[in-house]
Structure 1
């Protein structure tokens, strides 16, 4: 009587290999996320405690807890701490908006500042400041409408598969940006000296003048929009395979594209209304985050990278630039981002050819 021998199930072995690979990738991603979180926490501590006036960490904790230390309390609560909090919120919001936009358009150059969404918010906000004389929530609402108008143009072109592909959308976005720059300059010519100085500082991108009331509005916006974008991004990853394939897998392509664009508009407009258009953060954070994860988009890490960039840039502009002068954070990120943009264009061109 012969005995039957059962061969090992290759499917189960393959499944185990896949599970091990996924666990290894998850642990590696968690380590990198933790490292970025620690770097951001260290940068915030340095930004808050070290400067023209040094506040020790114990005194910082006491002041935050409600203690009143003459001199130190004012510097911490009215200068360094609000700037650090605004930098974290602005950097994370712009970075996530840029990462989502790049995945949505399947192009690393498709960031809100390149495509004109930041320009729409900036032009509308400058118009509300100088012509309409608005402030606070009114500026935020007008900036949102300006960004929404540019986003509507891009959504309209991308509906049903944009003719000419994402390259055509980028060209349209660059054209919108050029038009908005011209409109912004025209509005600035109508301003008096006081309004012109205020608008020019705002247009460079700065967290220096952010008040706790404005920071609270931005925090509420980020608390709602950022988690929503994290959830929505799962569907966007399917859409990166192509609209037809995504629709075949049951993804509502047009609805998710519109929701993603709406989230980008909310994050960009809210940030621009408080801090102005901080240059290149939305463009830089996404490619850096994907490089850390071998091409995969991990929005949590991208948000941490964006926040870290703005906090570090604000500290450099405030204390490390030769000659002092409290350089706005947008100038520092612009100086760092322009060479990176040129490098990204050159390397992408080489790959395509």
Structure 2
């Protein structure tokens, strides 16, 4: 008797329904609780004016930001894992997020009156510098996956030291910097939604390159034999991923581990083909950040727990588990050879 399995497209559709349901529930959490029925009444145009003000100006843009940022970080994480051929790669683990954070903090404390567009630009530059250093290390040293992760952690630690220096040097802005570094969607509105518009363009572009990604995953020699220029493609993919990471970090701060956890969950659910992996990773990333932000708002209202703290509590043990698994696999491979 054959075992029944769900079609991957059915799984993706179910996840999208779950994301929609969670978004509606999440709109109710906060200092003032709004029931799902009241939210639906507002959505169909029959809500109370006070609730309409809260939902439109604060909670709806916050939900949109959570979905876009979660999807962006997860998609970038899946791309980094493929480009670096490292299952431990993610924006925060390899130090790219910290690089973006350091550059953004420098702008916030040194140029507090600078236009808002400077923030994503600086975050992209910081992320790009760390990514270039890591890529040079990967291709020149032929490092193992666990070594690459450790190098990324070291680069992240250097960037974190720089962040702490600026916090000590400019104590007047320390509260704003700490909240931003914790990774929070607090006080985010429509201005930040507009800041994330590049992600709405770049994420579909990455998903549109899934056929090339599947070829690239076969190895450079096979990809070249099939007519694919592997190295330029890797740099393009890395560049687009870094832009997405920079924009996300500039908008909500340093939210960790979504780019690590979401692709791994997606890979277990729909497999390793990028045609299914990227959209599934994006949905799981959006779900994870929605859950983290909902918990942060709903556990101890009116006090909020930054979403980055909740994702770190979930993600840090998972990263240690993956690190241990990769070391075991590497040892088994060394014994067989």
Structure 2: any 5+ residue segments left out of the alignment? 332-337
Q: Which moved more, 1:82-91 or 1:149-158?
A: 149-158
Within the alignment, does 1:109 sit opposite 2:88 as a pair? yes
Q: Which range moved further: 25-34 or 277-286?
A: 25-34
What does residue 326 of structure 2 align with?
348
Instruction: Provide the secondary structure at the position in 1 that maps to 2:9.
Output: helix
Highest Rg: 1 or 2? 1
Hey, what's the Cα distance between the residues in 2 that align with 1:91 and 1:282? 8
- 1:300 aligned to which of 279, 302, 326: 279
Deviations 1:267-314 (A, max 9, x none): 100000010011111111010100112444411110000000000111
Q: Give 1:118 shift.
A: 0.7
CA distance in 1, matches of 2:242, 2:123: 9
* Rounded Cα–Cα distance in structure 2 between residues aligned with 1:61 and 1:42: 11
CA gap of 1:266–1:301, structure 2 versus 1, over 3 A, is: same
Superposition map of 1:126-145 within 5 A: 126-133=105-112, 134-145=114-125
Cα deviation 1:247-270 (Å, max 9, x = unaligned): 122111111111111111111000
Counterparts of 2:147 and 2:327 in 1: how far apart (Å)?
16
Note the C-alpha offset of 1:209: 2.1
TM-score (norm 1): 0.85
CA distance in 2, matches of 1:84, 1:242: 39
Change (3 A) 1:26 1:243: farther
The CA RMSD over aligned residues, in Å, is 2.3
> Which residue is 1:8 aligned to?
none
Taking structure 2 as the reference length, the TM-score comes to 0.89
Determine the structure 1 residue equivalent to 2:213: 236
Of 88, 98, 102, the residue aligned with 1:123 is 102
Counterparts in 2 of 1:32 and 1:155: CA distance versus 1, 3 Å = same
Q: Would you say how many aligned residue pairs link Structure 1 and Structure 2?
A: 326
Cα distance change, pair 325–55 in 1 and its aligned pair in 2 (3 A)? closer
Q: Indicate whether 1:53 and 2:26 are aligned.
A: no
Matches within 5 A, 1:110-259: 110-133=89-112, 134-159=114-139, 162-193=141-172, 195-218=173-196, 220-259=197-236
Aligned-partner Cα distance in 2 for 1:27–1:342: 31
Q: Which residue of 2 aligns with 1:21?
A: none
How far 1:344 sits from its partner (Å)?
1.2
Per-residue deviation, 1:55 = 3.4
